Structure 1
Amino acid sequence: MTDPKERIPQFLLQPTWLMDADYNVVEKNAQAEKFEKDYVVLMEYAVQVARGTCCAFHTDKTACKNCPLENKWAASDGFPITFMGRDGVSYEFFGKLVKREHHWILEIRYIDKPFELEGKSMLTYLNEARESEQKRIARELHDGIAQSIYSLMLETRGLKWTPVEDHQQKLQAIDRHFADVLLEIKSLATELRPSILDDVGLIPAINQFVEQTMEMTGFVIHVIVDGERNALTGRGNVVIYRSIQEAISNALKYSGVNEASLTLDFGQEELRVTIADEGKGFIYDPYHLGFGLLNLRERAHSVGGKMEVDTGIEKGTRITMSVPYKEGLT
């Protein structure tokens, strides 16, 4: 019998489980029972995520070492976690595991609960954290470029102490150094923000990326564009462009075939993008997504969209992303 003093507090409105010292469930509230009817709840998995021995967002602990979310989640006194719905779709939640005398209490909240005071969902929070990390990396790279420019300044000033007969050779070396720095700056700028989207628009940018990929790799990509070309928000364009880059790169690396199809279907309220190949496929586990698929899912959710994966061993892979023309509307 459960000690009356160790029962679940009646005021808790979230799905809550009471466990003994060995993490065996001894009691659950009505919300928890309903939750288990809607979702596949593996208590061992939830405890592992809560204790940090298993991560809901990375495939291994190595990927967690430099995670920009580490300190933020620790400060929030909780952890992100995913559960598979009875409809076969994976959903994100926010969990909290606390010790009370001789028992543990596990509480699961829906993603809009932890940050409702800030009006943020968990996935928006994740993407903002990633953007913050990108800014930090940009600053670090900028410092590296600044050092290169400073080195160039010293090389240029040193010309006055260089014998005249050596000037030509020295200037050629400085010119090569300048070219390297310029290439580094352009590469960094393109990585952080694809300016081509602003210059020519989404479809021409995608076509250019496809042409460059086929030219450089020999990987054949069939592009199909259907429907009236409605405009997305600037952020939506970036999400689609980056997601296509990620999905095509994954198909090129892992599919085992030499071609894929890219379909952009402009509907009345959203743009559906499908990247498909007839390759090896894989076992899709929504609980343990690789970084590539996790990236795609987070990007779609950040603008109110969604990602679907249809795959299996030797069945090829079909990734579909839906992004609304107006952010936040699904």
Structure 2
Amino acid sequence: MPTDTDNELLEQYFKNTPVAIMIFKDEDLLMSNKLAQCLQKHLQFDPHYLVQLAKSHDSKESPIHGCCSNCAICMKMSEKAMPVLAFSTDDEDPANYYMTYTKLDKTNHLFALTLKNYGAVKRIDQLADKQKLNRYVSKANEQERKTISADLHDSIAQGVYCAIRGIRRLETVPTKDLHQLTQTIENQLNETLTEVKNMALDVRPSVLDNFGLFSALRSLATRLEESSGLSITVVGNAKPEQLSTEVQNSMYRICQESINNALKHANASEIVVLLSQHNHFINLEIIDNGDGFETSETESFNGHSLGLRDMSSRIRALNGVFKVHSELTIGTTITVTFPVQIEKGSLSHE
């Protein structure tokens, strides 16, 4: 049995809970908590109107919101939710609520009506979505760190170690072989230096800071075209400098990952990067003529890349739109869209 202390705690919880609750017997209001009283006073609604609304949704003649009128399951539910028309107020925008109707005691005709604000529920949902996006972005960042760590260990560290071993041999190598050994060490250090520069370009290209997104994409295309032998073209009419630095960084990263994925897995012979501007948004499209894939069956390209899901999360976290369209034997198009404010008139990119 509940003690007096338990009853006091329950009473305090009922009074102060952040949800408007009203308890009725038949159509008479027995009690309501503080928030319900405040809402009734501020919004000036009639509790009996809410009772009639709840009973109309509960009747067999009227379908429950989201249910059929003769659904046996719905008729047995002790709790039902329904929308409530916006309450008009003089000093602010209409307040939209939904109401929950809960039967407490059918014999004694006791029931509760609970009012919840749509805006508050929406904010909670947005917060949950933001937390989910943050987890995806954090996962993507961690994957990038692992990739950099692996490259440093497997490539850079090994190159430096080989050069150190060569230097140690200088004291013991015969004079006639000295020139050849120093040349080998120099070649090894030059190769390691090139790999360090390539890693720096992958992590953060200086051309992006100095000359902007268009130049950075063209530099990326030239570098990957030389190493792969594929045709990679960058075209467009956009002025991406209107976008924030963070957005431009993400667009560059998505383009880089998309091209690398196409080179590794698509068997493409041509890749086109299109950066176009419209009245209210800028589009980045990476189009290849490779094998294509079933988007419904593929969540990521492979474990070494960001993956489609993480790409999408990275863009959504910045309020952008990420789309993937792929057809078998036709190719794949990855599209990234961000809103932008521009002046009216034609656009061109020199």
Shorter chain as normaliser: what TM range? 0.5 to 0.7
List per-residue Cα deviations over 1:60-91 (Å, max 9, x = no partner): xxxxxxxxxxxxxxxxxxxxxxxxxxxxxxxx
Q: Percent identity?
A: 26
Q: 1:230 to 1:185 in 2, by over 3 A?
A: closer
Q: 1:53: which partner in 2?
A: none
Q: 2:114: which partner in 1?
A: none
Paired letter, 2:132: M
Q: 1:131: which partner in 2?
A: 141
Quick check: 1:170 aligned with 2:170? Answer: no
Counterpart selection for 2:323 from 305, 308, 315: 308
Deviates more, 1:310-319 or 1:172-181: 310-319
State the 1:278 CA deviation.
5.8
Q: Which TM-score applies when normalising by structure 1?
A: 0.53
Q: 1:205 to 1:290 in 2, by over 3 A?
A: same
Figure out how many residues of one structure are paired with residues of the other and give that number. Answer: 224
What is the aligned-residue RMSD (CA, Å)? 4.2
List per-residue Cα deviations over 1:121-159 (Å, max 9, x = no partner): 322222223323433554565466456535534532442
1:92-111 equivalence runs, <5 A = 110=125
Quick check: 1:289 aligned with 2:289? Answer: no
Paired letter, 1:273: L
Contact residue 270 and residue 288 of structure 2 kept, 8 A: yes
Greater RCO (Cα-Cα under 8 Å, separation 6 or more): 1
1:38-57 equivalence runs, <5 A = none
Q: 2:242: which partner in 1?
A: 231
Q: 1:298: which partner in 2?
A: 313
Contact residue 221 and residue 261 of structure 1 kept, 8 A: yes
List per-residue Cα deviations over 1:147-175 (Å, max 9, x = no partner): 65355345324423333333212212221
Q: 2:337: which partner in 1?
A: 322
Counterpart selection for 2:251 from 217, 240, 251: 240
Contact residue 194 and residue 238 of structure 1 kept, 8 A: no
Q: 2:73: which partner in 1?
A: none
State the 1:192 CA deviation.
2.3
Bigger Rg, structure 1 or 2: 2
Q: 2:218: which partner in 1?
A: 207
State the 1:265 CA deviation.
1.9
Q: 1:112: which partner in 2?
A: 127
Give the gaps of 5 or more residues in structure 1.
Answer: 1-10, 14-26, 35-108, 115-119
Paired letter, 2:138: E
Paired letter, 2:256: Q
SS across alignment from 2:170: helix
Distance 1:190 1:170 in 2: 30
Counterpart selection for 1:194 from 185, 189, 205: 205
Distance 1:245 1:304 in 2: 20
Deviates more, 1:172-181 or 1:207-216: 207-216
Q: 1:52: which partner in 2?
A: none
